[in-house]
Structure 1
Amino acid sequence: MSRKTNQNNKLSKLIAEFEDAVQSFSPELWEEKSFLKLISHYENQGSFDRALAVADLAIKQYKYRVDFYLQKARLMMINMRFAEALNILNQAFSISPYEIEVPLLKAKILTLQGNPEEALIIIDEVKLIFQNADLHEILLMEAFIQESMKDFDKMFYTLREALIINPNNTEALEQIWVSVEFSKKYDESVSLHLNLIDKNPYSYLAWYNLGHAYSCLGEYKKAIDALEYSFLINSRFEQGYMDCAELALQIGQYEKAFQCYSDANDIFGPDTELVAYMAECLIKLNRHKDAKSMLLKAVHQDPFNDEIFFYLGECYFSEKNWDKALHYYKESIEIDEYREEYHSALAHVYCEMGNFKKAETHFAKAARCGQEQSQYWAMYIKFLLEKQNFEKAEKIIRRADKYSVGTDLTFCKVAYNLLTNNRPAALIDLEEALQEDSSMSKILFEIIPTLQDDVEIKGMIRYFSV
């Protein structure tokens, strides 16, 4: 018999004995570790009343063991019975005044009650009493309190201190990125984590945090390298694969992104969400056939994944198979009707099929769903201008200005003014748009192809493109 099976049998026996004891009101004397195992079992099962009953029984039999008071207080804290938990901790303090877990748990409960200032007073007192012996535990609790106060600058420096004491403090490494993200201390985070890596080159969490700091500083190559090290060191670190893939996808490294998603799927899958991400990478690489093959298998495994249907639509759109593309885009919208890219894709299919009424409907829905994203308003306005629906285009331009900002919208205004014979206003807007991003001027020629012969406008574009 395996050791694990033997342990499970012992636990089952303990549970049965406890249930009998509750029924007969005559609990037997158990070893302390038996009580701890039972409390852990019931807590994992979500049976907090049972876990508390075991803790009460343990306190009766071992009334001078502070561990059981701490367990009971922790269970009450989880159930938001804060006043009772604090009362139990006062009893624990009278039994063991030098047990550091007692004031630390009290500080946590006070923080959860909304009294972080009182909790910090306890932390200051604990630092004086315990000094350096358990400083890393004290600092972690201090950081927890600072996070609750949204004091992310202090939280960062507190966790940095904890990591200087112990560079391998997993909890501090897991928490520090929250403080970096909100305090924007990216440069200091890079410096800290490089020092930590010097001390332990195999700290996967240090590499992971370093990758995120580099990413926020715009150093994407360094970021991807660091994120990649995180999962090369710990092959079971799923978040490392995912974040590396996401960043690679954002900066156009589609092969790298595909490989990360593929590796994650091999290790943690099969997972249809990962298949959808992989398909997106393949589509970006113009490998539509490979993407379609993968997606057609996945659609049977998960018929409720909207992204799988959407990317299948993209594959068929690339083949100019409008009917199939239409079918799969509609399926994706059936599952999630609030995705702007789905409505935009469906609108483009309807355009290809000559159904401009339905195309307009879905351009409008795309703009409403993604109202803060200028490109969906620009698509809608561009469609209206191409259809010479100038009155409605003007209304949509005004509406877009309320919700979104973008150079593409300014170019749409230029096109609108040119098409409605307001050239002076068009030239003013054109100068503004070219100063913002001259590379987007192609929008003008898509809407008004005859501008290729407009010497003045082409001259302005050349001037601002230099």
Structure 2
Amino acid sequence: MLKTNHVLFFDSEEFENIIHHYLTQGKISLAKKAIKLGLEQHPDSTSLKLFRVEIYVFEDKLDEADSLLNELYELEPHNEEIYIQKANIFSKKDNHKKAIQALKKALELTDDVQDIYSLIGMEYLFMDKFEEAKYYFMKCMEEDYEDYSALYNMIYCFEFLDQFDEAIEYLNSFLNKNPYSEVAWHQLGKQYFALKEHEKALAAFEFAIISDDTFIGAYLEKGKVLEKLKRYEDALEAYSITLELDDITSFALLRIGHCYEKLNQNELAIQYYTKTVKEDPLLDKGWIAITKFYNKKRNYKKSLYYINKAINIDSENVVYWKLYAQLNFRLNFLEEAERGYKKVIELGNHELETWMVRGDILLKLGETEAAVYHFLQASEFYPENAEIEYRLAGLYFTLNETEKGKYHLKNGLCFNIEYAFILEELFPKVYKKRLIKNLLKSK
């Protein structure tokens, strides 16, 4: 009809199937055309009008959706789909309580309760009410034990509530009734892994594989457990199977590289780390693995070469910049190291060590005023820190700003007298001054 403009007659149910097909395919414009044609032939069809409501909600035309729903409610006050769409509108408006009320009304009117339980569970999740959400996802599982979406959501609630033992109890009970549910075995293994019960986790993942020997996730998790148990050759076998089952994943390549490194097969390790970053250049763990590999071998120049390549791909990755700074510092490239630590701070890493190392590099570079500004910034993040105060004291005395020097020295002595050696170590000329000796003796 769309292609030829010939008018053909379909009954309303056929239109519903066509519209549903287009919606599941994400072809919204074709769905809208089908709704329009359908309503031209069946102007009184509530089901077709409800599809129109669904499109309105999708397009955030919530007032139009609400208005049409009110008309439909007058005609069919006991149609559960009206309440489901009402809930959809409330949810879009972040009124999750009213959405739940509407869905509970829909529950009273329908025999098909599973989807509504799931929708109620999601509304409770939006409200961070994990106990209530968990209850409704469990109700979904009672209706259909293969509703894996509900299972994943329910386990998410258990995990958020730190109820690992309760999750294990539920999954074991579920598996007693459904012993070949590979997804449940997989989730059980993950709970045991979180509790560091590695042997039990391994058994669960093996049962998941027995239930479905093509379940890639179970092989990957099995590999992770075997690594924890230091069974690297067995882990290699598990990861290698995933490469045969489906497209190569960068995660599997990375873990294979790690296993070879642990087995001191360095050539194979670096071969797989290199494959990892070729497969997924945005996977930071791959670049970090290569960098750390050469770092351990004290091949700092090669390590630096790879971290530079990583930064060229993702210049906003704080871990890359930290490694860049550390490597340059080891190679005594102080200006590059200082630049690296500065970038680390700009990207939001405010660890005390980062502040200290960059400040001390500025000292070595003779950038006294820049070091003062830097440590003053650090003191905003770490007030009452003796290490910062002694450095500021030494810097101000170096600049002959005696009053400021005395102020920070007194602070340092007040916060922790044991760190006074910092003055002697970093500012030997200042430390020899009689004024400083007297201030230190007074304590």
Is the TM-score greater than 0.5?
Answer: yes
- Please tell me whether residue 76 in structure 1 is matched to residue 56 in structure 2: yes
Preserved CA contact (<8 Å) 2:189 2:203: yes
Partner of 2:35: 55
Matched, 1:294 2:272: yes
Alignment pair present for 1:198 and 2:182? no
Q: For 1:392-434, what per-residue CA distance to the aligned partner results, in whole angstroms no more than 9, with x for missing partners?
A: 99998886686589xxx99x99xx9xxx999x947699xxxxx
2:125 to 129, 147, 155: 147
**1:162 and 1:172 in contact (8 A); partners too:** yes
Q: How far apart in 1 are the matches of 2:252 and 2:56?
A: 39
Q: Does the alignment pair 1:332 with 2:298?
A: no
Structure 2 partner of 1:108: 88
User: Which whole-Å CA distance do the structure 1 matches of 2:307 and 2:295 have between them?
Assistant: 10
Tell me whether 1:188 sits opposite 2:166 in the alignment.
Answer: yes
In structure 2, what is the Cα distance between the partners aligned to 1:188 and 1:106?
Answer: 35
The change in CA–CA distance for 1:250 and 1:52 in structure 2 (over 3 A counts) is: farther
Q: Which moved more, 1:54-63 or 1:395-404?
A: 395-404
Q: Deviations along 1:132-179, whole A, 9 cap, x unmatched? A: x43333322221221222222211122223334543333321321332
% of aligned pairs identical? 21
Q: CA 1:342–1:113 in 2, change beyond 3 Å: closer, same or farther?
A: closer
Name 1:313's counterpart in structure 2. Answer: 291
Q: Would the alpha carbon gap of residues 168 and 397 (structure 1) be closer, same or farther in structure 2, given more than 3 Å must change?
A: farther
Shift of 1:292: 1.6
Residues 272 and 302 in structure 1, CA contact (< 8 A), matched pair in contact too: yes
**Contact kept? 1:93, 1:102, Cα under 8 Å:** yes
Q: How does 1:257-406 map to 2 (within 5 A)?
A: 261-272=239-250, 274-283=252-261, 286-297=264-275, 307-366=285-344, 369=347, 371=349
Q: In 2, are the aligned partners of 1:108 and 1:145 still within 8 Å (CA)?
A: no
Q: CA deviation at 1:92?
A: 5.1
TM-score by length of 2: 0.70
Alignment of 1:120-199 (within 5 A): 120-130=100-110, 133-199=111-177
5+ long unaligned stretches in structure 2: 392-408, 426-443
Deviation of the 1:51 alpha carbon: 0.9
AA at the equivalent of 2:167: S
In structure 1, C-alpha distance between the alignment counterparts of 2:12 and 2:2, rounded to whole Å: 14
Q: What is the root-mean-square deviation of aligned Cα atoms in Å? A: 4.8
Provide the rounded CA distance (Å) in 2 between the counterparts of 1:188 and 1:212: 13
How many Å separate the matches in 1 of 2:361 and 2:236? 34
Distance in 1 separating the partners of 2:140 and 2:263? 45
> Who is 1:209 aligned against?
187
Which amino acid in the other structure matches residue 161 of structure 1?
A: K
Secondary structure of 2:2's aligned partner: helix
Q: Distance in 1 between matches of 2:229 and 2:346?
A: 27
CA displacement at 1:197 relative to structure 2: 1.2
Aligned to 1:434: none
In structure 1, C-alpha distance between the alignment counterparts of 2:221 and 2:374, rounded to whole Å: 37
Secondary structure at 2:4's aligned position in 1? Answer: helix
- Which piece of structure 1 moves more, 107-116 or 348-357? 348-357
Q: Deviations over 1:217-236 (max 9, x none)?
A: 45455445445644553455
In structure 2, distance between residues paired with 1:188 and 1:274: 31
Instruction: Report the CA distance shift for 1:127/1:219 in structure 2 as closer, same or farther (over 3 A).
Output: same
**Letter of the structure 2 residue corresponding to residue 143 of structure 1:** G
Q: Distance in 2 between matches of 1:356 and 1:307?
A: 26
Judged with a 3 Å threshold, the aligned counterparts in structure 2 of structure 1 residues 119 and 294 are, in CA distance, closer, same or farther, namely: closer
